[in-house]
């Protein structure tokens, strides 16, 4: 699913690429899966955001933004322009700047959970 065109719509005959309860590590290349596993073992995973991962099937790069919630771990995937991938060598501050908007959006969604529903 991480390599489908944005306009692609799955049909009933297609096997689901993502299912509840699946091991998310199977979606990423082995080095990326190891990075996610290490990050998940930290108490404050948000301090490690963003983490650059690559899709196993397409090789496309994504930033993962991880957040701990009461019932588990939420992983937000943000596509990365392949031209921007070398920026990772420049260090965390520059890569964080690239993912700051996505981190902000996830934080806003998390805050909305505590607000009464809009009528």
Label residue 7 by pLDDT band (50, 70, 90): low
* Phi–psi pair at 32, nearest 5 degrees: -70, -40
Helix (H, G, I), strand (E, B) or coil at 44: coil
Report the mean per-residue pLDDT for the chain. Answer: 73
Q: Are 5 and 60 in contact (CB under 8 A)?
A: no
Helix (H, G, I), strand (E, B) or coil at 79: strand
Q: What average pLDDT does the segment 51-63 reach?
A: 89
Token pair for residue 32? 């990326």
DSSP code string of 20-54? TT--GGGGB-HHHHHHHHHHHTSS-GGGG--EEEE
- Whether residue 103 is predicted with pLDDT greater than 80 in this model: the reply is no
Label residue 119 by pLDDT band (50, 70, 90): very low
Helix (H, G, I), strand (E, B) or coil at 62: strand
For the segment 65-96, what is each residue's pLDDT rounded down to a tens digit?
A: 888 888 888 888 888 887 766 555 444 555 55
Contacts of 58 (CB under 8 A, 6+ apart): 2, 3
pTM listed for this prediction: 0.58
For the segment 22-52, what is each residue's pLDDT rounded down to a tens digit?
A: 777 888 899 988 998 888 888 888 788 888 8
């Amino acid at each position: 699913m991480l390599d489908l065109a944005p306009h692609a719509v799955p049909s009933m005959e297609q096997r689901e690429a993502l299912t509840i309860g699946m091991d998310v590590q199977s979606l990423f290349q082995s080095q990326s899966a190891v990075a996610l596993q290490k990050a998940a073992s930290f108490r404050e995973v948000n301090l490690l955001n963003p983490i650059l991962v690559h899709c196993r099937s397409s090789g496309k790069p994504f930033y993962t933004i991880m957040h701990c919630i009461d019932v588990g771990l939420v992983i937000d995937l943000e596509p990365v322009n392949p031209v921007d991938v070398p920026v990772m060598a420049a260090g965390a501050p520059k890569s964080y700047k690239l993912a700051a908007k996505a981190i902000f959006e996830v934080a806003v969604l998390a805050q909305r959970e505590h607000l009464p529903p809009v009528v």
